[in-house]
Chains A and B, each alone.
Chain A
Amino acid sequence: MKTDYGRMFRQVAAISYMTFQELLREKILWSSFVFGLLCVGLAYAASQLSYTDNARIALDFGLTSVSLVGGLISIIMGSVLIAKEVQNRTLYLILTKSVWRSQFVVGRLIGLLGILSLNTLIMVGISVVVFLFTGGDLGSLLVKSLFLQVTEFGVLAAIACIFSVFSTATLAAIFSSGVWVIGHAMTDLKALSSRIEPEFMRPVLGLITNLLPDLTRFDIKAHVAHDLPVTWTYIAVTMGYGFVYIVFALAAACLIFRKRDL
């Protein structure tokens, strides 16, 4: 039978749209959003306490809030993305409609990425308003930061998705949080992996640093806040690294999910 790519694409699009609609109603999204707004408000307040460079402090605070809130949403929503569908058995009806399990996983993740992009765009938008309000000048660094931030959230969501296909939502959230923390400590871990004692721990640490994503690559908040240059080549290479990681994580999630008894 000839593969109908058009129909497969429409099926994935239908699942993505339904996921987007579903996640938009989630309380956690709105709670995190309110938390983010409070952080941005705090950023404004903190900027007023400084005698110099109010705008830079506001922006630094704002971007940190975006990173924190977005990371939390990626992990929490990524962890329930598949697990909830299996637990609630809403997946059954979908799989009887000539939809492959991998299409379902991809569709769900795309829907989540849509939510994460929207959330990041709004949060960064608010940070920018505060930044401009406190006298800052808008440059391309902020756009570059936005690209990297959304890519990082995509990587986190894809990792949470892997855990979500074979464990419960709670365990998936715990595992993904661990990866988030390790990913942001990657520079130190890489340095440690050549010096750690006892020596047999070095290959173990080396494996961890090679296997898990280096999330420090996506973090250019300090550059944005202090107006340090970041080239578009760096942005393109780092986003490419993120996309490759997402594709591999998705492939792993699909492979595991295909073998799972429902």
Chain B
Amino acid sequence: MASQEKPLAIQIEKLTKRYRTGALKSNLALDDVTLKVSQGEVFGFLGPNGAGKTTLIKILVGIMGADSGTCRILGLDTLGREAKLKLGYLPERPYFHDFLTSAEFLRFHGRLLGMTEDAIESRIPALLKKVGMSKSRDQKLRTFSKGMLQRIGFAQALLHDPAILVLDEPMSGLDPVGRREVRDIISEIAGMGKTIFFSTHIIHDVEVVCTTVGFINGGKLKGSGNIESLLGRTVKSMEVRYSLPDAKDPGSEKMLKTSRRTMDGWVLDIESDVDDLEDQVNKVLAHILSLKGNVRAVVPRKSTLEDLFFEGSR
């Protein structure tokens, strides 16, 4: 759960959304989703394609409303004007008016935000410098690479210095260099104390950048919270690497059936509840020693975000 000490940046309560797919048919995109993100957090919103991430983000940034439930940012309804002025948004793909130059694009969005012409003109050079696009000020967006478009998208999202940034799959479709650049920008923005909510289906991005995480699948939130605490409370497993002098020994055969063969011996994975795990490992070690075998290593395996992702995806 979100940290209780910090005030909430995003507060979603029992959010439900259906899409009509026919006269009498509808598809449940979000099912009673409740989620909280504290101010200053970098929140990774994980889920497979079609899980409901983009639908939730569309409601969060005020593109559309929900059928039921509430969605608030800094205590304000996301469909209201005040709330929209507090957030910056970068869409999944750079859906920009590509006939505009970088400066024209930022000027247009500055006007939509209600900024004065002076404020817009003073922000443009500073933002272009921040995202490393100063040289492309008068270049048309249609000539940009995907990475450049993402960077100009970041500049647009930061134009009015919002408290919350919502990024929908900001690294999808980028090459490793582009991903690294976008990650660096996110880290820099997080360092400024802003709340960042970003969706992705790429687990590594979350591991590198985020402090808290939420999992969604089939429109339902499968879990959320601090990454360390989520990993800490999950079932762990142990890997016992061993060798036996006589594989044909009746006592050995039973054990080898549940192990897997490696280059230099055998590996047995022991999965159990945290409380019971130690006893299980001790029994296995005692059995190996009773068979005059060698225990080469006992490796604790912590759950990873990937494990949680796949558990949530089931």
Whether B81 contacts A98 by the Cβ 8 Å rule is: yes
Q: Are A22 and B63 in contact (CB under 8 A)?
A: no
- Taken together as a complex, chains A and B put the C-alpha atoms of A4 and B115 apart, in Å, by 13
CB distance from B155 to the nearest CB of A (A): 12
A233 within 8 A of B: no
| Given A4-B114, A261-B19, A261-B20: A96 touches B62 (CB 8 Å cut-off) | yes
A residues within 8 A CB of B112? 11, 14-15, 94, 97-99
Nearest B-chain residue to A19, judged by Cβ: B97
Cα A22 to Cα B93 with chains together (Å): 20
Q: Are A95 and B62 in contact (CB under 8 A)?
A: yes
CB of A38, distance to nearest CB on chain B (Å): 27
A254 to B84, CA, bound (A): 20
Query: In the assembly, what is the distance between CA of A1 and CA of B79, in Å?
Result: 14
Alpha-carbon distance A262/B95, docked complex (angstroms): 14
| Closest-CB distance, B150 to chain A (whole angstroms) | 13
CA distance A224 to B10 in the complex (A): 64
- Contact of B97 (CB < 8 Å), options: A7, A90, A96: A90
Contact with B109, one of A7, A13, A92, A97 (Cβ below 8 angstroms): A97
What are the residues of chain B within 8 A of A28 when measuring CB–CB? Answer: none
C-alpha spacing A31/B167, complex, angstroms: 40
- Report the Cα distance A25→B142, complex, angstroms: 13
In residues 7-25 of chain A, which contact B (Cβ within 8 Å)? 7, 10-11, 13-15, 18, 21-22, 25
Name the residue on B nearest A90 (C-beta).
B95
Instruction: Fill in one digit per residue for B4-32: 1 if any A CB lies within 8 Å of its CB, else 0.
Output: 00000000000000011000000000000
Q: Given the complex, which residues of A lie within 8 Å of B156, measured CB to CB?
A: 93
- Of all chain B residues, which has the CB nearest A6? B114
- B91 an interface residue at 8 Å Cβ cutoff? yes
Q: Which residues between 240 and 262 of chain A lie within 8 Å of chain B, taking CB atoms?
A: 261-262
Contacts of B197 in A (CB 8 A): none
Indicate if the CB atoms of A262 and B58 lie closer than 8 Å.
yes
* Cβ of B96 under 8 Å from chain A: yes
Closest to A260 in B: B64
Q: Answer whether residue A195 sits at the interface, using C-beta atoms and an 8 A cutoff.
A: no
A25 CA to B84 CA, complexed, in Å: 31
Known contacts A14-B108, A96-B89; A262/B63 CB under 8 A: yes
Interface flag for B144 (CB, 8 Å): no
Contact with A along B193-225 (1 / 0, CB 8 A): 000000000000000000000000000000000
Are the C-beta atoms of A7 and B99 separated by less than 8 Å? no
**Which of chain A's residues have a CB closer than 8 A to the CB of B62?**
95-96
Please, which residues of chain B bring their CB within 8 A of the CB of A97?
84, 109, 112-113
Q: B95 and A88: CB pair below 8 A? A: yes
Give the total of A residues in contact with B, Cβ under 8 Å: 25
Interface size on B, residues (CB 8 A): 28
Chain A residues closer than 8 Å to B87, beta-carbon distance: 96
With contacts A21-B99, A97-B109 taken as known, whether A1 is within 8 angstroms of B81 at the C-beta atoms is yes
Question: Nearest residue in B to A25 (C-beta to C-beta)?
Answer: B99
How many angstroms between the C-alpha atoms of A139 and B8 in the bound complex?
69
Q: Which residues of A contact B301 (CB under 8 A)?
A: none
Q: Is A89 on the interface with B (CB-CB < 8 A)?
A: yes
User: Do residues A96 and B114 form an inter-chain contact, with CB atoms below 8 A?
Assistant: no
Nearest chain A CB to B133 CB, angstrom units:
17
CA distance A97 to B63 in the complex (A): 10
Whether B96 and A93, one on each chain, are in contact in the complex, defined by CB atoms closer than 8 angstroms, is yes
Specify which of B80, B91, B111, B114 is in contact with A93 (CB 8 Å cutoff): B91
Is B61 among interface residues, defined by CB-CB distance under 8 A? yes
- Known interface pairs A4-B114, A96-B84; A89-B91 also in contact (CB < 8 Å): yes
B residues less than 8 Å from A90 (CB atoms): 95-97
Contact of A18 among B63, B97, B114 (CB under 8 A): B97
* Chain B neighbourhood of A25, CB < 8 A: 99
Report the minimum CB–CB distance from B18 to chain A (whole Å). Answer: 9
Q: Which 6 A-B pairs have CB atoms at the shortest separation, nearest pair first? A: A14-B111, A97-B112, A89-B95, A98-B81, A98-B84, A7-B114
A90 and B91 CA atoms in complex are apart in Å by 9
Distance of B306 from chain A, by nearest CB (Å): 30
Query: What's the minimum C-beta distance from A56 to chain B, rounded to whole angstroms?
Result: 42
Contacts of B109 in A (CB 8 A): 93, 97
Q: Tell me, yes or no, whether B1 is within 8 Å of chain A by CB.
A: no
A1 contact set on B, CB distance < 8 A? 80-82
Is B85 among interface residues, defined by CB-CB distance under 8 A?
Answer: yes
In this complex, the member of A4, A10, A93 whose beta carbon has the largest number of chain B beta carbons within 10 angstroms is A93
Q: Which residues of A contact B95 (CB under 8 A)?
A: 88-90, 92-93
Query: Other than the known A10-B111, A14-B108, what 18 A-B pairs have Cβ atoms closer than 8 Å?
Result: A1-B81, A1-B82, A10-B114, A14-B111, A21-B100, A89-B93, A92-B63, A92-B91, A92-B95, A93-B156, A94-B112, A95-B62, A96-B62, A96-B84, A98-B82, A98-B112, A261-B19, A262-B63
Interface set, chain B 157-171, CB cutoff 8 A to A: none
| Chain B residues closer than 8 Å to A92, beta-carbon distance | 58, 63, 89, 91, 95
